[in-house]
Amino acid sequence: QQKVQQSPESLIVPEGGMASLNCTSSDRNVDYFWWYRQHSGKSPKMLMSIFSNGEKEEGRFTVHLNKASLHTSLHIRDSQPSDSALYLCAASPNTGKLTFGDGTVLTVKP
């Protein structure tokens, strides 16, 4: 049973557009969420993490978290072709061990 569900599986947005990615955990013990980005043929790199209810913004990237529903979302504004990648959501309970979702493949069309 997949404990971290991501949607959509794939997403195409035009250059300059907004990309919105979703992630939900089914593990009530989760207290941290992470977003990683993985370009093709490369290793995942951490983008943002969030553990408090609400919103966190870093440049073009905004992450939201609703702890009651264990739902997080990543929003990328002014999307660039270089943002095209696999976006992985991960959740960690107090053990610190990350469980990853299957990811969303984002394609930004010039």
Partner 1 sequence: GGIITQTPKFLIGQEGQKLTLKCQQNFNHDTMYWYRQDSGKGLRLIYYSITENDLQKGDLSEGYDASREKKSSFSLTVTSAQKNEMAVFLCASSRGRNSDYTFGSGTRLLVI
Residues that bind partner 1 (CB under 8 A): 4, 6, 31-32, 34, 42-46, 49, 51, 86, 88, 92, 94-103, 105
Please, what is the minimum distance in Å from the beta carbon of residue 80 to partner 1?
A: 21
| CB nearer partner 1, residue 10 or residue 80 | 10
Whole-number Å distance between alpha carbons of 105 and 30: 24
Residues 6+ apart with CB under 8 A from 49: 32, 33, 34, 35
Please, what is the minimum distance in Å from the beta carbon of residue 79 to partner 1?
A: 20
Whole-number Å distance between alpha carbons of 54 and 59: 17
| CB nearer partner 1, residue 25 or residue 92 | 92
With beta carbons less than 8 A apart as the criterion, state whether 104 and 7 touch. Answer: yes
| CB nearer partner 1, residue 19 or residue 91 | 91
